[in-house]
Structure 1
Amino acid sequence: MLVAAAVCPCPPLLVPEVAQGAAPELDALRAACDEAVRALVEAKPDLVVVVGAGERDMLHEAGATGSLRGYGVPTDVTLGEGEGEEGSAALPSALTVGAWLLARSNWAGPVRGYEVSPHGRSTPANGEDGVDLARSSERVGLLVMGDGSARRDVKAPGYLDERAAAVDAGIAKALATGDRDGFLLTGLDEALARDLMISGRSPWQILSAAHDDDLDCRLLYDDAPYGVGYFVASWT
């Protein structure tokens, strides 16, 4: 059963060593992420699953590692505690940032990562994954990593798309209300998410299907620094 979830964006710039001189610009975002993850940990789940987009659909066990070396920082990040399996797949960027956030919370319990492809994934498949993850332990916590549109203004990575602001507003409302109108499941089809460069579609759909109406949902952050929609939410 899902007992808590933290929703966070996954830009590597969240890591101050990556952001370097620009790190203070995201201080408010980091604080919101820390608050959401802290609430997740305080719910005392038996298992935390970090969910984020990658190149494939697969589970990563505790001890799997991801690297920030591609962003100029000679640092590896480990998912939870453990040695990891020899030859195991590396964590994708979204799960690497999630593992870094979880480590900041001092979580020492069981953890897994679930990497989900952003392409070719139907809403029913994401929903089935959400139900399965919620049933994977008696008390499950999800740390759900994903960004909104990367086309919010002319300086955004994907330049301006006039649809982006309205879609991101719908995402923010869904995260604030527990997606009670089903926007994440019905309003975010794959083609639209691809056009708007939204990485959070599959992770958010997994979350939406995993929870019931008993969770208290709060939106802690909603802004678009660098023209990318970033959201932080706490569901407990």
Structure 2
Amino acid sequence: MPRSGSLSVRPVTSIGVIARAVVLPHPPLLVPELVPGSVESTEAVRSACLAAAAELAAAADQWFAVGPGAGARTLGARARGSFAGYGVDVPVALSRDAAGAAEELPLPALIAGWLRERAGANSVRVRLVPPEAGELADAAAELAELDRADDRLGLLVLGDGSNRHGARSPGSQDDRAPAFDDAVAAALGTADTAALRAIDPVLSAELGTGGWAPWQVLAGYAEPGRWSARMLYSGAPFGVRYHVAVWERG
């Protein structure tokens, strides 16, 4: 669980191999086969995610994804898996030539691979980050190191907002959720790294927010004033707030 005051990540100056980043949610409902009765009602967030992924693929054929995880772990591009655990055997590969044995992949990796395939990118590696200050700092430092590589790289940041929007939401209604996610949307939509770093980790946990750790990594990596952003979508179709934004290095 995030701890108040635990974050010590600071922006890292980098030379700019990563020119574009996209911030997306990672719910199973993005995959039409998993929600056969709700494809139409989930189309808005799905279309926004696919549009953002297409923009990322246009900037870079290779991606690096950061998503939430109970423990730190990096999944290489050779990994393959399936959404079978979510009800339908929709296969997923993290690269075009993935040759590893199929394994049980965590949801952020499944969504990253699914988006990669539909956007036509070559590969994606996925780093799972727990909400611990040391892990957040390490992940931000890794992004800065990757930013000094020779090849272009796209950054995919995966994380959901609060799951407590409305009486039928997964986490039950919390009247603090709308203001919380409005502030997150404003920060993501303006590339405001200071506002992202200022998100209260205790409140975030109380509101069932899945994106806190990945957003902190982005805020720790992205140099203030060097990025612009566009919000493509922000809504809570089933009681969970989803934000879709595209960040461009200026």
Which residue number corresponds to residue 139 of structure 2?
129
Secondary structure of 1:25 counterpart: coil
Secondary structure of 1:23 counterpart: coil
Aligned residues between the structures: 228
Superposed counterparts of 1:15-164, under 5 Å: 15-44=31-60, 47-85=62-100, 90-108=104-122, 110-118=123-131, 121-122=132-133, 125-136=135-146, 137-138=149-150, 139-164=152-177
Distance 1:8 1:66 in 2: 20
User: What letter is aligned with 1:8?
Assistant: L
Partners of 1:184 and 1:205 within 8 A in 2: yes
Which residue number corresponds to residue 191 of structure 2?
178
User: What letter is aligned with 1:28?
Assistant: A
Distance 1:175 1:84 in 2: 36
Distance 1:36 1:132 in 2: 23
User: What letter is aligned with 2:70?
Assistant: E
The answer to which structure has the higher helix fraction is 1
Matched, 1:228 2:240: yes
Distance 1:140 1:133 in 2: 10
Q: Deviations over 1:177-203 (max 9, x none)?
A: 1124x12212231x2222111010111
Which residue number corresponds to residue 11 of structure 2?
none
Give 5+ residue unaligned stretches, structure 2: 1-15
Distance 2:166 2:179 in 1: 13
> Quick one: percent identity of the two aligned structures?
36
Distance 1:93 1:66 in 2: 10
RMSD: 1.9
Give 5+ residue unaligned stretches, structure 1: none
Partners of 2:130 and 2:136 within 8 A in 1: no
Partners of 1:157 and 1:227 within 8 A in 2: yes
What is the TM-score of this pair, normalised by structure 2? 0.84
Distance 1:91 1:188 in 2: 29
What is the TM-score of this pair, normalised by structure 1? 0.89
Q: Deviations over 1:48-105 (max 9, x none)?
A: 112111232111111212321122102231112333555x964211221121011100
User: What letter is aligned with 1:24?
Assistant: E
Partners of 1:55 and 1:116 within 8 A in 2: yes
Which residue number corresponds to residue 204 of structure 2?
193
